[in-house]
Amino acid sequence: MNKLPNCVKCGSELTYEVQGIYNCPECGHEWSKLSTEASENNGKVTRDSNGNILQDGDDVSVIKDLKVKGSSSVVKVGTKVKNIKLVDGDHDIDCKIKGIGSMGLKSEFVKKI
């Protein structure tokens, strides 16, 4: 029998699997096999607001109005951002937005096109 991974949130050994999703009965956390495989490979999986995996070079769309720090500009809902670059840090995405310039975005505010 294959040993299931410990819970990534609380470390519990009492995890179980249902339809490709690992579950922890102690803290209620759920995570997918993909995220477990990526963490075993020391890779970071970045997901958009819908849970789709993002990669370098993807095109995304902004899902909510975002204020630009230090400026009165706003990135409007539906703004398309082409050729993103994934980075580590506070913001997951480095990109260039037409009319604004280079900036960092959080993956939770975009969706993959």
pLDDT above 70 coverage of the chain, percent: 88
| Mean per-residue pLDDT over the chain, rounded | 85
Which of the given ranges, 7-11, 28-32, 78-82, has the highest pLDDT on average? 78-82
Average pLDDT value for residue range 70-82: 93
Q: Per the confidence metrics, is the pTM higher than 0.95?
A: no
For 14-78, the DSSP string reads --EEETTEEE-TTT--EEEHHHHHHHHTTPPPEE-TTSPEE-TT--EEE-S-EEPTTSS-EE-TT
Q: Indicate the SS3 state at residue 8.
A: coil
The pLDDT confidence band at residue 110, using thresholds 50, 70 and 90, is very high
